[in-house]
Every structure is written in structure tokens, then in C-alpha cells.
Amino acid sequence: MIFVARDFNTPTNHIGEIVAYLSTDTNHNKIIAVDVLNLHELGQAWIRIKYDVSIDLYDTILSIFNKLTVDIYQEKLKKGQVKGIYKSDPNYTGLSITPEYKDILCLDEATEHSLYSEYWGQYYTPFTRESVALLEEYDDGEEEEDDTKYYIVYGEVLENGEFIYNKPILSNDYYEE
């Protein structure tokens, strides 16, 4: 499977990643399926995002990654899990609370300029405007599962490129009361 990842892992810190892949929903609409791994408590968050295929896919994915990165770390600030500045602070820049990361495209096989990651167990290349063309659409199997037993966040990338979502980002095994 070829997918995009915002990888926050460094040689000394494995704090997780955000993974995105192209898919379809149960109604066969094109979506971007996002899994947030290890960045929040235990478990992983599942986010299913509608997007307009006429909007640049590279910009769409970056919009999603950037908003999730800031929102997740704002939540970590509130819980005292990281130190930084809240959005409400006049000194907030949006960059002061995020750790280092790299955006990569994980590949099924090696290419001329790809690198191998022991962590991912596969080859990757930087995620760029050019490499986005390598993404392929996958069926994520939602039709086969009973989604009612999972906590899934639903979102949309608007025509202006803004990414919005419907509820807090929590583990997929979180049970709503």
C-alpha cells in the first residue's frame, strides 16, 4: 500500500505519526482515510475525510496534516503532556508547539531515489507535489465492518482548502455515552 505519513519519529523519540491514504466510503465516494497513531493516549484515531477531487491533492493532504498536528498538540498542552503556548495566547504562532516531523510517501517497492526505513519496514520518498502522483486508491473495507461499534471522526476539506471535522480526535475504541 502506498500512503502518506507525517512522521514525528526521530532517532531518540518514537512519538507516532499521522497516516493518510486514498480510499472510498460505503457509498463509493472518494475519501482520504487518516489514522492517527500513538500521538494521543493509547490506540489510534480513525478519521474519514470527504474532499473535492478538483482541489490539488498535495495541498489537501497538507491542510489535513497541518490542522491535525496543531489541534493534537493543543490538546496535549491542555493536558500538560507538552509545554508550549495555547492558541488563545497572543504570542501563538501555530508552530511553537509542534515537534519536528517529516512528510513521507511510503512505497510498495524501491525506486531510484527512495530510502529504506527500519521503523516503517519499507521504502519511502519525501512527500512532494510531484510524488503525490504515486498515490493509489484502496478499499479500506468499511463495508465489511460494523462501524457503529467504533468511534470514527468524519471531516471535510472545503473548497477554500480548510479542513474541518465533527468531533474530538479520540481512539477508535472510545465509547460515546
Q: Which three cell numbers stand for residue 143?
A: 463495508
Residue 143 has what pLDDT? 47
Region 90-98: what's the mean pLDDT?
57
Residue 50 inside a domain? The answer is yes
Cα separation of 116 and 106, whole Å? Answer: 9
Closest CA to 155 of 141, 137, 168, 142: 168
Residue 71 inside a domain? The answer is yes
Which pLDDT tens digit goes with each residue over 4-60? 999 877 666 666 789 999 998 878 888 999 999 876 556 789 999 999 888 899 999
User: 69: domain range?
Assistant: 3-165
Residue 64 inside a domain? The answer is yes
Cβ proximity of 123 and 116 under 8 Å: yes
Residue 41 has what pLDDT? 59
Residue 60 inside a domain? The answer is yes
Residue 20 inside a domain? The answer is yes
Residue 148 has what pLDDT? 65
Share of the chain above pLDDT 70, in %: 74
Residue 172 inside a domain? The answer is no
| 43 alpha-carbon distance from chain centroid | 14
Instruction: Spell 42-54 as b/e; 16+ CB within 10 A means b.
Output: eeebbbbbebeee
Global confidence as pTM: 0.83
Consecutive H or E run containing 6? strand 3-7
How far CA 11 is from CA of 82, 83, 130, 159, in Å, comes to 19, 21, 27, 38
Cα separation of 172 and 156, whole Å? Answer: 19
Question: What's the domain count of the chain?
Answer: 1
Region 82-87: what's the mean pLDDT?
57
Residue 118 inside a domain? The answer is yes
pLDDT band at 104 (very low <50, low <70, confident <90, very high): very high
Residue 173 inside a domain? The answer is no
